[in-house]
Amino acid sequence: MEMSSLHGPPSVLEGGDKMKREYSYEEYMNTIKLLNRGLRITTVSRELGIPKSTLHYWRYGIYRPPSARWTPEPSKELAYVLGVLYGDGYIVRERGYHYDVELLVKDYGFAEVFSRNIAKVLNKRFRKPKRWGRSHNLWRVYYRSKAFYQWFREQNLNTLKQYIEYDRGAVKHFLRGLYDSEGYNYRCRKIFLYNNDLKLLNYIQ
């Protein structure tokens, strides 16, 4: 696993091996529509440049691309997760085939709240945070989702606003996720936020 300088959102870690071609949700849905209209697999393959074997798997439900297994839906839980991913959270690709959404922090309560939110976003069973590190003074949460990984790494602050600003509840949860990560409360009188992304800080204001 290596650090990678990627365009788009922060908090992305990626391995060094080469990725195979991935198909978008739109490509998958367009293909299914053509097949459902009665077009032959050979015709669709020639038109879209997708191998016939792949189309066969899609048509008969044997396999679907990761992008078709999960798609983002605006919610307060997703907004919270996005806030955390702009703070302490990150996504990581390990050994070329593990795609994880992770959080590693000292605060158990924070880790648990993040786990409950990301579990609901991905429609997975809730996982309790686990002790991590040599001194076991950190709590780790991770969920595997190639679809979420591929979606998030292609986003930026502008494209994510439709999820952050979906409603007042989403805005509040995004801010909470970010402040849980980067915020500081001074004697219940002042609240500070630290981040090296000036564009993000201006947006938060």
| Spatial separation of the C-alpha atoms in residues 48 and 112, rounded to whole Å | 44
Q: How many CB atoms lie within 10 A of CB 38?
A: 7
**Residues 84, 178 contacting (CB under 8 angstroms):** yes
The CATH classification number of 72-204 equals 3.10.28.10
pLDDT of residue 2: 35
Q: How many CB atoms lie within 10 A of CB 109?
A: 11
The CATH classification number of 25-69 equals 1.10.10
For residue 97, give both structure tokens: 């085939």
> Domain residue spans in the chain?
25-69, 72-204
| Spatial separation of the C-alpha atoms in residues 91 and 74, rounded to whole Å | 19
Q: Which parts of the chain register pLDDT below 70? A: 1-20, 66-69, 96
pLDDT tens, residue by residue, 130-159: 999 887 889 999 999 988 998 898 899 999
pTM of the model: 0.74
